[in-house]
Structure 1
Amino acid sequence: MDHSTHHAGHAHDLATDQHHAGPHRHAPKASWPMAAKATLHCLTGCAIGEILGMVVGTALMWGNVATMVLAIALAFVFGYSFTLFAVRRAGLDLRTAIKVALAADTVSIAVMELIDNGIIALVPGAMDAQLSDGLFWTALLGSLAVAFLVTTPVNKWMIGRGRGHAVVHAYH
């Protein structure tokens, strides 16, 4: 066997090994603490973006729709950035890190934002409350707490199938 044939065979073996060793081969056992940790990680980024968006939109006296759009957009930005920075520190190049962050957090952030914003929209007067109103903060923080409770089982299910935050763990 010449060197090029051996090298090509070795490259194929590595590609095959990486394919089989990826996050989908053996899904990790998904425990409730693992799911809660993944959800809390996601919630932290989402909450920062959500609160910042609500505060900015409310302070600038934007309408409800514009404020909610800003809050959701910032929740995704901050939610993704927490994972992106973590996997970049672990040594992933930017392109791969972005793919991992998108795979790890998209469903979690989407569920969290759907629940969070749905609750805020349904609480009478919450969307019209000002920053100085207790209702503003009660509805916002309460909705984040409920979003955590609803999203944790979703993350547990995803991790158990090698998806969501299980993708991040494949690179640690």
Structure 2
Amino acid sequence: MASSATLHCLTGCAIGEVLGMVIGTALGWGNVATIILAVALAFVFGYALTMRGVLRAGVDFKQAVKVALAADTVSILVMEIVDNAVMVAVPGAMEAGLANWVFWAALAFALAVAFVLTVPVNKWMIGRGLGHAVVHQYHH
């Protein structure tokens, strides 16, 4: 269950993270601005994916926002901290540019590391009825 929850989180994070990194890199933004955009978009897409399923279950928008915040905030936060730390730590990754394989390899590696390190966090939270455990009642 923790792996599934983390994969769900990774999907939203990856969409936002890749989009943010691509936009920031394409516009020639510095590392800080690019990371801020990538993190913001990761949260937006992560929450949106959770809300989509909850809204489909008939929950009103305001409650769906609350469920998404409770389900995903810690997971996305951990994933984003790890992912961006790895991107910054890989020499030349942030400066490589979109046409360079180093950028894409580092981004894929960063997301993989973030997944591996976030699974235990989600396992711990689900075991205590937190995180993605709050979403399960809305899955049919």
Q: TM-score, normalised by structure 2?
A: 0.97
Q: Matched residues in 2 for 1:53 and 1:135: separation?
A: 17
Is 1:74 the counterpart of 2:41? The answer is yes
Aligned to 2:130: 163
Aligned to 1:150: 117
Is 1:111 the counterpart of 2:62? The answer is no
Q: Matched residues in 2 for 1:112 and 1:62: separation?
A: 22
Aligned-partner SS, 1:126: coil
User: What's the CA shift for 1:55?
Assistant: 0.4
- Structure 1 runs of 4+ with >4 Å offset: none
Q: Give the aligned residue type for 1:78.
A: F
**Structure 2: gaps of 5 or more residues:** none
2:52 aligned residue (62, 85, 104): 85
User: What's the CA shift for 1:127?
Assistant: 1.3
- RMSD value, Cα: 0.7
Aligned to 1:65: 32
**Contact map agreement 2:53 2:138 (CA 8 A) in 1:** no
Q: Matched residues in 2 for 1:171 and 1:119: separation?
A: 34
Q: Give the aligned residue type for 1:130.
A: G
1:94 aligned residue (46, 61, 65): 61
**Contact map agreement 2:46 2:76 (CA 8 A) in 1:** yes
Count matched residues: 139
Q: Matched residues in 1 for 2:132 and 2:123: separation?
A: 9
Q: Give the aligned residue type for 1:39.
A: T
Report which of the two structures shows the higher radius of gyration computed on alpha carbons.
1
Larger mean Cα displacement after TM superposition, 126-135 or 100-109: 126-135
Aligned-partner SS, 1:61: coil
User: What's the CA shift for 1:170?
Assistant: 2.5
Aligned to 1:7: none
**What do the CA deviations read for 1:11-46 (whole angstroms, capped 9, x no partner)?**
xxxxxxxxxxxxxxxxxxxxxxx1100000000000
